[in-house]
Chains A and B, each alone.
Chain A
Amino acid sequence: MGFSSGWAMAQTEAEPPSPDSTSRGTYALVAYIGGGMSRFVGTAGSPPGFNTSINRNSPSGTFRLMWHPDHLLRVGIESGWTGFYKYKVQGGTYTAKLNHTATPILIVFSMPVTKRLSLFAGTGTYLVTSYLDYVGKVQSSAFSLGFMASAMYVVPLSERVSLAGEFKWLNARETKDTSLSLQLMAIWKLYQW
């Protein structure tokens, strides 16, 4: 099979091994970079007894580095940034603002299920950060165990570059933050051996 058409095929099946039983197929290091919008679907905490307006929509971005071996299961690491929610509170003469965001740091597995559709699942930690502006400003962070799952539809543009749309579920378990995200991804095969 020619190298130039091998990239699309590699999404769906392993490279056939050579007749020599000790040889392997092609390995590749693939980078995914993308961004889009996320919608917070969990319960957004807010202080009791106040008039609060909550914004659940935020931008989000992903960076992922995957190892594509010569079989279906791929593994890699993912990071990025997502806003979960922000709110504004009016109480008496005071206005308070809070912004609640996270940086995921995950180990991710993926598997192509059709020629262009791949599923991803991962676990790791989220660095969750809150930015409070109320009688002073405070930025504080905590780590939260978390998960991620997504489905990605890939459109190859060339031998090394593809575009993809990804629908993603992000869950920081300990802080009970969950969002759904739709992102446009650029995929670049960095290296192959």
Chain B
Amino acid sequence: MESGKNGKGRWNTAVFVMILWLVVSGCEPKYEAPVPTAAWATFDSPKAVPLNGVSRTFMEGVYTVTDGADQFGEQVALKWSYVTSITDTTYYLSVFCAKDITYFVCAGKKFNNSLIFNGYWRKVINAETGIARFTINDQHGATQLLSGSPQIGKGDIVLEGKWGNGDAVPANSVVFSYLRPLYKSKPLEIVGQRSGGQSSDHLPVAENSIGMIRYASRLGSTGIEMNVRLTSDGIPVLYHDNTLNLSLIQKNGLVGSIEDYSYQQINTFVRLIDGESIPTLNDALNAVVYSTDIRFVVIDTQYIGTLEAVRQLQKEYLQKALDIGRDIQIVIGLPSEDKVNAFLALPDYASAPALCELSMEDVHRTQAVVWGPRWTLGTQDAEVAQIQGEGRKAFVWTLDDPLYVDQFVNQSNFDGILSNYPSVVAYYHYVKQ
């Protein structure tokens, strides 16, 4: 009896200690991936001047990784993008890798007879990041690229680089050697979700922010999907989740839904995790049309209610884009029956471009310009051919697993792919042959 009593006591104690451990272990580790400080004296010197458009265009391509393949994979795709402000246009060189959903973002300049590139790399599957620097010297393509009409073939351009971890001065070798041009035979719309990427991936900018809209093309996006909610006073703003929560915003004491608060309350009290304000849909479309090279926008409304305010902004910005010669499609997303009903309640729905995720019948009913089925239904070749035969497009969502991205890029006939990892889609698309 004595040993039974002690045994019970030990069991009780063990269980209680386990429960206490569970409580204590509720503490969450914090992950961050801050952009490394990339100051480089050579790059920042007055002798380093911006590259011209010819140099940029001709160095885009598929490259073999001749050194550093264990870190970045066997081949990569290099592509330029830009953002504009009132005073300036800034060009960025992105490098897309399949391995570990890695990408590079660099700025480029001419320095004497060489081309130099300064920026950082990031693996999205974890929080690893670091400084990256490259040089194309005059014997490995710089002379060609700086000439007026380069003739580029395999091996003609070699980017010799160094990469490091965090803010450490890069010391590990990485070399890219030109293989062939980027695939351009059949365009693919690469649509980044949450305006380009998720906050949970610890990107340099918050999801559904002006910063992310301006960053999206560096991640490989040619289009973006914006998530829209209405404040209590009917202002459409960009925000994905049902509630204000600390994975998307800085702590401010407010809880509950965006819909509970007016725009003035939200704008005064709420900051996204990177410190930006929650943008209105008006601000967001303004940024797309006037500041980026993004050419496709899906407005995904997360609320139940009228689409009037969204439709007005869609019309306004389609016209603005036309006025400045920008070729942009802005579509209203229709993921559910109640959204379809709200859309059909618009007096001018027949002229409102839409992306319908439901059946073919719903596509016809809403006169949607894009059909967007989910990827789990397969490549649906016959259905895609039918939709394309009607003059519409077919986009598939949401493809994040590199294995399936590879499959859909190479084996399906979709016109676009929605993904949380547009850099992977960009890689598999641009390395196609």
On A, residues with C-beta under 8 Å from B are 13-14, 16-17, 43-48, 71-73, 85, 87, 91, 96, 98, 100, 109-111, 119, 121-123, 128-130, 132, 134-136, 138, 140-142, 145, 147-149, 171, 173-176
Q: Which residue of A lies closest to B251 (CB)?
A: A45
Let me know if A136 and B20 touch, CB within 8 A: no
Let me know if B12 and A142 touch, CB within 8 A: no
B23 on the A face (CB < 8 A): yes
Let me know if B255 and A176 touch, CB within 8 A: no
> How far apart are the CA atoms of A109 and B23 in the complex, in Å?
11
Given A44-B253, A123-B23, A173-B28, do A136 and B12 touch, yes or no (CB 8 Å)?
no
A-B contact pairs, 25 of them (CB 8 A): A14-B5, A44-B253, A45-B252, A46-B252, A46-B253, A47-B269, A47-B271, A48-B250, A48-B275, A73-B12, A96-B268, A111-B12, A111-B13, A121-B16, A129-B255, A130-B253, A134-B269, A136-B262, A140-B255, A140-B256, A140-B257, A142-B244, A142-B245, A147-B26, A176-B246
Let me know if A45 and B253 touch, CB within 8 A: yes
B15 on the A face (CB < 8 A): yes
Let me know if A73 and B260 touch, CB within 8 A: no
B127 on the A face (CB < 8 A): no
Closest CB in chain A relative to B359 CB, distance in Å: 35
> How far apart are the CA atoms of A147 and B13 in the complex, in Å?
19
Let me know if A98 and B256 touch, CB within 8 A: no
> How far apart are the CA atoms of A71 and B5 in the complex, in Å?
9
User: Told that A45-B250, A71-B8, A73-B15 touch, could you supply 8 new A-B pairs with CB distance under 8 A?
Assistant: A44-B251, A85-B253, A91-B268, A96-B268, A121-B20, A123-B23, A129-B255, A175-B246
> How far apart are the CA atoms of A109 and B13 in the complex, in Å?
11
Let me know if B250 and A141 touch, CB within 8 A: no
> Chain B residues with Cβ under 8 A from A87's Cβ?
253
B261 on the A face (CB < 8 A): yes
Let me know if B255 and A72 touch, CB within 8 A: no
> How far apart are the CA atoms of A17 and B1 in the complex, in Å?
9
> How far apart are the CA atoms of A140 and B243 in the complex, in Å?
10
Interface size range on B against A: 35 or more
Given A14-B5, A132-B261, A138-B260, do A148 and B23 touch, yes or no (CB 8 Å)?
yes
Let me know if A98 and B253 touch, CB within 8 A: yes
B345 on the A face (CB < 8 A): no
> Chain A residues with Cβ under 8 A from B13's Cβ?
72, 111
> Chain A residues with Cβ under 8 A from B255's Cβ?
100, 128-130, 140-142, 175
Task: Return the 5 tightest CB-CB contacts between A and B, nearest first.
Answer: A140-B256, A45-B251, A72-B12, A73-B12, A142-B255
Given A72-B12, A98-B253, A121-B20, do A134 and B26 touch, yes or no (CB 8 Å)?
no
Indicate which residue in B16, B26, B253, B261 contacts A109 across the interface (CB closer than 8 Å).
B16
B264 on the A face (CB < 8 A): yes
Closest CB in chain B relative to A89 CB, distance in Å: 9
> How far apart are the CA atoms of A109 and B253 in the complex, in Å?
30
> Chain A residues with Cβ under 8 A from B168's Cβ?
none
Let me know if A136 and B265 touch, CB within 8 A: yes
Let me know if B271 and A48 touch, CB within 8 A: yes
B9 on the A face (CB < 8 A): yes
Indicate which residue in B5, B16, B245, B271 contacts A119 across the interface (CB closer than 8 Å).
B16
> How far apart are the CA atoms of A35 and B22 in the complex, in Å?
26
Closest CB in chain B relative to A181 CB, distance in Å: 16
> Chain A residues with Cβ under 8 A from B24's Cβ?
149
Closest CB in chain A relative to B191 CB, distance in Å: 30
> Chain A residues with Cβ under 8 A from B39's Cβ?
none
B254 on the A face (CB < 8 A): yes
> Chain A residues with Cβ under 8 A from B275's Cβ?
48
Let me know if A135 and B264 touch, CB within 8 A: yes
> How far apart are the CA atoms of A71 and B268 in the complex, in Å?
55
B19 on the A face (CB < 8 A): yes
Binary interface encoding of chain B residues 222-261 relative to chain A, with 1 for a CB under 8 A from any of its CBs, else 0: 0000000000100000000001111000111111110011
> How far apart are the CA atoms of A46 and B253 in the complex, in Å?
6
Let me know if A123 and B22 touch, CB within 8 A: yes
Let me know if A73 and B253 touch, CB within 8 A: no
Closest CB in chain A relative to B125 CB, distance in Å: 24
> Chain A residues with Cβ under 8 A from B232's Cβ?
138
Let me know if A174 and B26 touch, CB within 8 A: no
> How far apart are the CA atoms of A16 and B2 in the complex, in Å?
10
> How far apart are the CA atoms of A151 and B5 in the complex, in Å?
24
> Chain A residues with Cβ under 8 A from B261's Cβ?
132, 138, 140
> Chain A residues with Cβ under 8 A from B12's Cβ?
71-73, 111
> Chain A residues with Cβ under 8 A from B268's Cβ?
47, 91, 96, 134
> How far apart are the CA atoms of A132 and B15 in the complex, in Å?
42
> Chain A residues with Cβ under 8 A from B1's Cβ?
16-17
> Chain B residues with Cβ under 8 A from A128's Cβ?
255
Q: Which residue of B lies closest to A107 (CB)?
A: B19
Of residues B28, B260, B269, which shows the largest number of chain A Cβ atoms within 10 Å of its Cβ?
B269
Q: Which residue of B lies closest to A171 (CB)?
A: B26
Closest CB in chain A relative to B92 CB, distance in Å: 29
Closest CB in chain A relative to B277 CB, distance in Å: 10
> How far apart are the CA atoms of A121 and B19 in the complex, in Å?
7
Closest CB in chain A relative to B250 CB, distance in Å: 7
Closest CB in chain A relative to B23 CB, distance in Å: 4
> How far apart are the CA atoms of A14 and B12 in the complex, in Å?
11
> How far apart are the CA atoms of A64 and B261 in the complex, in Å?
34
> Chain B residues with Cβ under 8 A from A129's Cβ?
255
Q: Which residue of B lies closest to A108 (CB)?
A: B19
> Chain B residues with Cβ under 8 A from A100's Cβ?
253, 255
Q: Which residue of B lies closest to A98 (CB)?
A: B253
Closest CB in chain B relative to A12 CB, distance in Å: 11
> How far apart are the CA atoms of A175 and B246 in the complex, in Å?
7
